[in-house]
Amino acid sequence: MKNQKGISSLTGIVIVVAVAVVAIGGIFTYQYFTTPTIGSPVQNQQVTEGWKTYTNNEYGFEFDYPKEWKISEKEIQNGLSIKLFPNPDSNKGSLTISRESKPYTFCSNCLTLDDVVSTNIKILEGSVKNVIPHDGTIDENRAVEILYRTDKDYQGSSIFFINNEKLYTISYLETNDIANTYEKKYREIIKSFHF
């Protein structure tokens, strides 16, 4: 009788350990193989109701933005820069979308998206604190977002992704006194970005 009771306890412990290992392995596998979406076609319709749509036929993309925001488009040396201002009378916050005509023009040694991100992290680390990168997607393209806060008065995010061998960057920056005031709208604009 004692022998049977000992086997039952041992069997119980083995089963509990096996279940724990399978559960932890399942959680790890799920986290490893799922990629969060930075931008997603699913938007909050209440937030984006009445917004305008910016379309760029030359570069083949579009996004939605609040109708009261000021938008400026500028050709830059190696592509295009679009800047959105939530408050036309203030420079305390902005969202910039840029596209490089030539891949990786600002980083001649960059061969991959990871090289671009690594170079930008090195640049940021000299002037900011709390540099936090994480992977995601924008319109089914792998994207890496870097969140940061400066030692001075700003916080922001830069998202890098590649489409058709062209580098895209979506960045927002706002002063700490209005921190997170427009972030929800920035995120909705990013979610609406597509090719």
Give pLDDT, residue 18: 62
With respect to residue 17, please indicate whether it lies within any of the assigned structural domains: no
Q: Which of 150, 173, 147 is nearest to 160 (CA)?
A: 147
Most confident range (mean pLDDT) of 82-91, 151-160, 161-170 is 161-170
Mean pLDDT, rounded, of the chain: 77
Q: How many domains does the chain have?
A: 1
With respect to residue 9, please indicate whether it lies within any of the assigned structural domains: no
| Spatial distance between the Cα atoms of 52 and 63, rounded to a whole number of angstroms | 9
Residue 87 has pLDDT above 90, yes or no: no
Structure tokens at 132: 């936090």
With respect to residue 103, please indicate whether it lies within any of the assigned structural domains: yes
Q: What is the mean pLDDT of residues 1-20?
A: 63
Residue carrying structure tokens 């290992």:
21
With respect to residue 69, please indicate whether it lies within any of the assigned structural domains: yes
Q: Pick the residue with more confidence: 118 or 21?
A: 118
The alpha carbon dihedral of 119, 121, 124, 126 has a sign of negative
Chain-centroid distance of CA 128 in Å reads: 18
Q: What is the mean pLDDT of residues 136-163?
A: 86
pTM for the whole structure: 0.72
Q: Which domain holds residue 127?
A: 45-192
* Domain of residue 135, CATH code: 3.40.1000.10
With respect to residue 113, please indicate whether it lies within any of the assigned structural domains: yes
Chain-centroid distance of CA 19 in Å reads: 35
Q: Pick the residue with more confidence: 12 or 21?
A: 12
Give pLDDT, residue 123: 80
